[in-house]
Amino acid sequence: MILRAARFEPRSLRGELTLPGDKSISHRALILAAASAEPTSIRHLNPGRDVRATAEALAAIGVEIFRDGDDCIVRGGSLHDSIAEIDAMNSGSTVRMMLGLCAGAGLRARFIGDASLSRRPMEPVAAHLRALGARILTTEGKLPISIDGATEERSAHLILVQPSAQIKSALLFSALFSGRALKISADRATRDHTERLLHAMGAGITWNGHEIDLFRPTVRGGSEIEIPGDFSAASFFVVGATLAPGSALTIRDVNLNPTRTGLLDVLDAMGARIDRRNLRERSGEPLGDLFVQHAPLHATSVDAQSALRAIDELPLIAIAAAFANGRSTISGVRDLRGKESDRLAAIHRLLAAVGIVAEDLPNGITIEGGAPVASGVPVETHDDHRIQMAAAMLGCAAGPVEVDSIDAVDVSFPDFFARLERASV
């Protein structure tokens, strides 16, 4: 395979942008729609490979999905065991959440993935589902992973050993597809997209960031779900416009769920100029427009809880810290080593590309900000879509920055570079 290398030059970001549908919500909308035999309409579905992996996994167990661009109609009905292996490609969300569906519906399936996904841990979600009676076999805690449709009815109250939005969602999907009520304790304000969508689709559910009570595990058919713009996609342009001189960018219809917007809080504390406008709600999710202007930044400290709310955006926070006046500290970074790549190592490579050195701490990192200047050292991205897009934003402010590949961007944001060009000056 020939990798597409790229070189990102300095540029300002101006004008207006819209974004693909939120990837996290798209996974969940497809799975929840599969719980009803009546058709569910989903608008603005994320077009990336990860969400396609979930759609194809659902089709393998009998769900009908009719696509029309970024819109679709989903009909669940009678689900069945998967005949062939289900390839989750690079999508951990697909494997973990589909395991929950299969556990609740009593289905047999075997999941595989690409080389990157096959290195990522699956035992935590498997262990939690086993506590609900599922029979799951991993391969030394990783893929391939098999689930046996037979389940035992066990506890209706589960305590999360490892707070995780994907694990929590898998448990809720298991309850929904089994029709059994479930209480979950020991959450730590992880992403609540599943809870919001369940509520919007008529399920009886309460949650407060610590405990969840799914007391009526049913959803109504014939629902319409409209997915807001992906905040994780917006975050690249928010940071790029903040750092690149001369920038003034409006990003329309962005998901502003507070469990996702830790990046905005960090940038606010650093002195960024970000206005939130036209705030409203759609399909249970808050959204609005973001107007971002270039601003000088000062150093900050990011605690572990704030880092959890910005786990996918921590490389971007590190880039912002490189341009800030003073020393910044980011805590709670241990989980970055288990993403699509070792993102903690990737942060070091990104910063080295502009002459900034970061120092590792126990579960943290410190960055001495200054005046980043391109070093001429190409960045190895290890086929990680977020690192490839982060490098593009680094190039806007301190380029030229070169990367070894931009191929992985199709996982979540296939037309990222086209939109970058439209906003470039």
Q: How much helix, strand and coil, in percent to the nearest 5, is found in the chain?
A: 35, 25, 40
| Pair of tokens at residue 362 | 């126990």
Question: What is the distance between the terminal CA atoms of the chain, rounded to a whole angstrom?
Answer: 33
Residues forming a β-bridge with 327: 368
DSSP letter string over 1-60? -----EEE----BEEEE--PBPHHHHHHHHHHHTT-SS-EEEES---SHHHHHHHHHHHH
| Pair of tokens at residue 168 | 């929590």
> Nearest CA to 211 among 171, 256, 173?
171
**Residue 226 near residue 283 (C-beta atoms within 8 A):** yes
Determine the Cα angle at 336 with ends 332 and 342, to 5°.
145
> Nearest CA to 170 among 260, 81, 104?
104
| Pair of tokens at residue 167 | 């694990």
**Residue 95 near residue 88 (C-beta atoms within 8 A):** yes
Q: Is the dihedral of CA 385, 391, 393, 396 positive or negative?
A: negative
Sheet with 204-207, side-by-side order of all strands = 157-159, 182-185, 212-216, 204-207
Q: Has 335 been annotated as catalytic?
A: no
Residue from 312, 342, 360, 410 carrying the catalytic annotation: 312
- Burial pattern 319-345, b for ≥16 Cβ within 10 A else e, equals bbbbbbeeebbbbbbebbeebbbbbbe
| Cis previous bond, 400, omega within 30 | yes
| Pair of tokens at residue 225 | 């779900």
| Pair of tokens at residue 266 | 């960090």
> Nearest CA to 293 among 275, 315, 269?
275
Active site residues: 312
